[in-house]
Amino acid sequence: MSRDDSLRGRLIGAVLGAVALVWIGVSLAGWLRSRHELDELFDAHLAQSAALLVAQISGDGADDDDHDDELDLEHAPVLHRYARSVAFQVWERGRTLRLHSKNAPRTRLSAKETGFSHVRIDGVRWRVFSTWALERRVLVQMAERVGAREAVSAQIARHLLLPLVIGLPLLGAGLLLAIGRALAPLRALADAVAARDPRRLEPVAVDRVPREARPLVDRLNDLFARIAASLERERAFTADAAHELRTPLAAIRAQAQVALASRSDAERAHALDQVISGCDRAARLSEQLLTLARLEAEEFREGLAPCELGSVAREALAELAPAAHSRGLSLELRAEQPVTVQGDAPLLQVLLRNLVDNALRYGAGGGVVQVEVGVGESHAWLRVVDRGPGIPAEERARVLDRFYRGLGNDEGGAGLGLAIAARIAALHGAALELDAGPDGSGLAVTLRWPAPALRSRR
């Protein structure tokens, strides 16, 4: 599994990303807010310092106008690490520099005479508060390096982000562990599926599968069941087919041996005739097996084309007329009105050929084989009726099984005709019903379409 497709990777990525994003957002908002507050605080401090200076000047400078002293802050003790970044100037009338801190330039700090301003002196940015004092006799300018507050602000940002840098990897590790444990049942499931033998697909036990994976497992088990059923059908079909081919092969072999060992010409000729009819039967059997195998592989199809049962029947009957004639039977079609159903015409012909063929083989002596096409209020039907011995009611369900043959199978049928017909009926969503003929004798096989299959009728 590549990292991109890993559920765990995606979960961890998403959670860590979201946490980092929210954290950074919250930190940013907090930082912006704190920077604003910090500005206010520093400004207030600046203004207050200026006010203190003004108070100082007015205390000792009012009566000593000529005092040309210089307050040297260089010698003042450094009370705080930020103290060195503070400077001030006191200007007499705004023109003469009367008092200044050591780190203050000799020129005016700011051109602005009242309020706050930003200046750049020798590449260093200063925040300056200017105010007039003593009735505009003195201009006091109090300055502070902008760098000082930026340093504080950066410190705050660091304090806000440091937990994120440490926390995210920890969170990631925790998630890795938790998700790994949560996904363990999925791995167990994968192992369970991998351990399945394709020839013996047993359902996966659902009791220890997490709820989220249940639909997947249920579908999987459905699929397993369907594949197993289809494999079993295929296996049974192959086995049946092989067994069914064995009997004609055994007959051909035995008859050939009889012919070889025979001392009479008549006996040899009889055996060779039997060899030929055995080959015919094996050929017919394999043909029908192929038809049935093809039909087994097909699914019920939705998009069937409309086809008219009368013309399907006419074509099939035309094909079978010679066979009927040689057996001394006659075929009769009763189609009073066109009946159109949704169907596959070639398949319906195969069905009809098999039904009529059966009627000819097993309905012998009945004189006539009837094919009826009709439509009623709720269904359309196609029916093949013979006047032969019929099939006892208790045997009717079994004759639809492939390879089932009734007694007296002199006709060499493979026992597949009705199985093929039933399969084609199922592919059409139609029902195949076996009954006694209309007068209680013979066999009537009816293919019945439910009403929705009907298209047009007159």
Partner 1 sequence: MRVLVVEDDRLLGDALRIGLSQAGFTADWVRDGDAGLEALAGDPFAAVVLDLGLPKLSGLELLKRLRAAGNAVPVLILTARDAVPDRIAGLDAGADDYLVKPVDLRELAARLRALVRRSAGRAAPLLCVGPLEIDPSAHSVRFRGRPVDLPVREFALLHELARSAGRVLAKDQLAERVYGWGEQVESNAIEVHVHHLRRKLAPEVIATVRGVGYLLPKDLR
Binding residues vs partner 1 (CB under 8 A)? 243-244, 246-255, 257-258, 261-262, 267, 270-271, 274, 277-278, 281, 405-410, 412
Q: How far is the CB of 239 from partner 1 (least distance, A)?
A: 8
Q: How far is the CB of 283 from partner 1 (least distance, A)?
A: 14
Decide: helix, strand or coil at residue 206. Answer: coil
Q: How far is the CB of 265 from partner 1 (least distance, A)?
A: 14
How do beta strands 330-335 and 368-375 pair? parallel
Q: What is the DSSP string of 284-327?
A: HHHHHHHHHHHHHH----S-PEEEEHHHHHHHHHHHHHHHHHHT
Where b means 16+ CB within 10 Å and e means fewer, 338-373 reads ebbbbbbbebbbbbbbbbbbbbbbbbbebeebbbbb
Q: How far is the CB of 218 from partner 1 (least distance, A)?
A: 35
Q: How far apart are CA 422 and CA 425, in angstroms?
A: 5
Amino acid in position 352? L
- In the complex with partner 1, the residue whose CB is nearer, 253 or 301, is 253
Q: What is the DSSP string of 18-48?
A: HHHHHHHHHHHHHHHHHHHHHHHHHHHHHHH
- Torsion sign (Cα): 383, 388, 391, 397: negative
- Torsion sign (Cα): 227, 232, 234, 235: positive
Q: How far is the CB of 274 from partner 1 (least distance, A)?
A: 5
- In the complex with partner 1, the residue whose CB is nearer, 176 or 258, is 258
Amino acid in position 242? A
How do beta strands 86-92 and 96-100 pair? antiparallel
- In the complex with partner 1, the residue whose CB is nearer, 231 or 258, is 258
Q: How far is the CB of 297 from partner 1 (least distance, A)?
A: 25
- In the complex with partner 1, the residue whose CB is nearer, 195 or 407, is 407
- In the complex with partner 1, the residue whose CB is nearer, 270 or 448, is 270
Decide: helix, strand or coil at residue 15. Answer: helix
- In the complex with partner 1, the residue whose CB is nearer, 223 or 239, is 239
- In the complex with partner 1, the residue whose CB is nearer, 255 or 342, is 255
Q: How far apart are CA 321 and CA 335, in angstroms?
A: 17
Decide: helix, strand or coil at residue 266. Answer: helix
Q: How far apart are CA 437 and CA 388, in angstroms?
A: 9
Alpha-carbon distance values, 240 to 235, 236, 244, 246 (Å): 8, 6, 6, 10
Q: How far apart are CA 204 and CA 363, in angstroms?
A: 51
Q: How far is the CB of 267 from partner 1 (least distance, A)?
A: 7
Where b means 16+ CB within 10 Å and e means fewer, 176-211 reads eeebeeebeeeeebeebeeeeeeeebeebeeeebee
Q: How far is the CB of 294 from partner 1 (least distance, A)?
A: 24
- In the complex with partner 1, the residue whose CB is nearer, 279 or 368, is 279
- In the complex with partner 1, the residue whose CB is nearer, 35 or 270, is 270
C-beta neighbour count of 230 within 10 angstroms: 12
Q: How far is the CB of 322 from partner 1 (least distance, A)?
A: 23
Q: How far is the CB of 287 from partner 1 (least distance, A)?
A: 18
Of the candidates 372, 365, 341, 375, which has an alpha carbon nearest to the alpha carbon of residue 435? 372
- In the complex with partner 1, the residue whose CB is nearer, 144 or 244, is 244
